[in-house]
Amino acid sequence: SQQGEEDPQALSIQEGENATMNCSYKTSINNLQWYRQNSGRGLVHLILIRSNEREKHSGRLRVTLDTSKKSSSLLITASRAADTASYFCATETGGGADGLTFGKGTHLIIQP
């Protein structure tokens, strides 16, 4: 069953603007992770936020987590053409590998 669900499914913005993607989930989690995928191939881990954390930063990335609303957001500031990719959230609920569930992703296009 789908745990994480990203919103929007697709997003197109101008270079230099900020991009915000959201992830909603259904059950309690240990942590939530964001990954980037270029051209439909391997995913790259971006950032992890634990259930007891509310906000985390890494370079131009800012992640928030609201466990009461079961949602997370990923903000990419000052977007660049190279940020064009699909972004996935993955929720970790423990109990083995099936405790890590990926959403369907947000496809981000940065217009030069």
Partner 1 sequence: GAGVSQSPSNKVTEKGKDVELRCDPISGHTALYWYRQSLGQGLEFLIYFQGNSAPDKSGLPSDRFSAERTGGSVSTLTIQRTQQEDSAVYLCASTQGWSNEKLFFGSGTQLSVL
Kindly determine how many residues on this chain lie close enough to bind partner 1 according to the rule CB under 8 A.
Answer: 24
101 binds partner 1 (CB under 8 A): yes
99 binds partner 1 (CB under 8 A): yes
CB of 82 to partner 1, least distance (A): 18
User: Between residue 18 and residue 77, which ones bind partner 1 under the rule CB under 8 A?
Assistant: 31, 33, 35, 40-45, 48
Pairing between β-strand 100-102 and β-strand 5-7 as defined by DSSP bridges: unpaired
* Nearest residue (CB) to partner 1, 37 versus 67: 37
Euclidean distance between CA atoms 63 and 20, whole angstroms: 10
